[in-house]
Amino acid sequence: MIRRLSIVVAIAAFGLIFASLAISYTEQQSLRPLAESYVRRVPQELGAPNIITGILLTYRAFDTLGEVAVLFMVAASVGLVLGAGHPPRSVSSEDRPDEAWPSSEIVQSGAQILVPLISIFAAYIIMNGHLSAGGGFQGGAVIASCVLLMLLAYPQYQPNLEFLSIAESMAGALFVLAGIAGLIVAGSFLDTRILPLGQFGAFFSAGTIPVLSVLLGVKVGCELSVILDGFRP
């Protein structure tokens, strides 16, 4: 009783604060100074038409490196909590019919059509990160959804976990090496001018942004696949 009352009081207090925030909000008429300087400088200095990917991989590249570290820690902690030598699970094996029965024909047929399309789409999103909407994180999530479809359609499918772990670690290490190369060759850590800027809007342009997008996509995709594989019974 007292708990329900305190929940109602807490939610009502939050509601009052949010209402005051929502009422006093006015739309911006023009860009703030920092945003305007980013929008002006990204096409000039980096040669990338996609301003958001340009910000994420040059001006805020250190935050992206921090997120790469957070994802690695999450994959390690999920592996620690769920792996640990596979102790006996609570569901006995006659209640787990996905080991006794194969998956249904509809899911297998759907997987045969969809897995190539999803893979091509993931590669397209990653490679076009600097030209139009897309980028490393988005493409990595689509790669993981492709692996999930394979796990659902073919229950005997064992993704090669060692290869995924090695690919993920190599991608992360290459990311940091690209940053150190920027420190040695160009101006600062994770500077994107170590590769030529190229022509605006061409496929190979904008310095290291496509290369970093590919590394990010491979890393996120392998990481999420390892996490998804740890959830199997």
Q: How far is CA 215 from CA 7, 27, 57, in A?
A: 45, 37, 12
Are 49 and 149 spatial neighbours (Cβ–Cβ below 8 Å)? no
By CB under 8 A, the residues from 91 to 130 that bind other proteins are 95-98, 101, 103-104, 106-107, 110-111, 113-114, 117
The identity of residue 226, as a single letter, is V
Q: Which residue has the tokens 């994959």?
A: 75
Q: How much is the CA Rg of the chain, to the nearest whole Å?
A: 23
Are 206 and 50 spatial neighbours (Cβ–Cβ below 8 Å)? no
Out of 62, 77, 124, 166, which residue is the one contacting other proteins (CB under 8 A)?
A: 77
The nearest distance, CB 62 to other proteins, in angstroms, is 12
The identity of residue 142, as a single letter, is V
Say whether residue 230 binds other proteins (CB under 8 A): yes
Say whether residue 2 binds other proteins (CB under 8 A): no
Nearest to 75 by CA among 140, 134, 139: 140
Q: How far apart are CA 138 and CA 129, in angstroms?
A: 9
Out of 1, 2, 5, 21, which residue is the one contacting other proteins (CB under 8 A)?
A: 21
Are 225 and 65 spatial neighbours (Cβ–Cβ below 8 Å)? no
The nearest distance, CB 158 to other proteins, in angstroms, is 19
Residues binding other proteins: what is the number (CB under 8 A)? 68
Out of 18, 62, 163, 203, which residue is the one contacting other proteins (CB under 8 A)?
A: 18
Angle at 200 between CA 199 and CA 203, to 5 degrees: 75
CA torsion 113-214-136-189 (nearest 10°) is 170
Say whether residue 71 binds other proteins (CB under 8 A): yes
The nearest distance, CB 97 to other proteins, in angstroms, is 5
The nearest distance, CB 123 to other proteins, in angstroms, is 16
Binding site for other proteins (CB under 8 A): 7, 10-11, 14-15, 18, 21-22, 25, 27-32, 34-36, 38-40, 43, 49-52, 55-56, 60, 63-64, 67, 70-71, 74-75, 77-78, 81-82, 89-90, 95-98, 101, 103-104, 106-107, 110-111, 113-114, 117, 131-133, 135, 137-138, 141, 152, 220, 227, 230-231
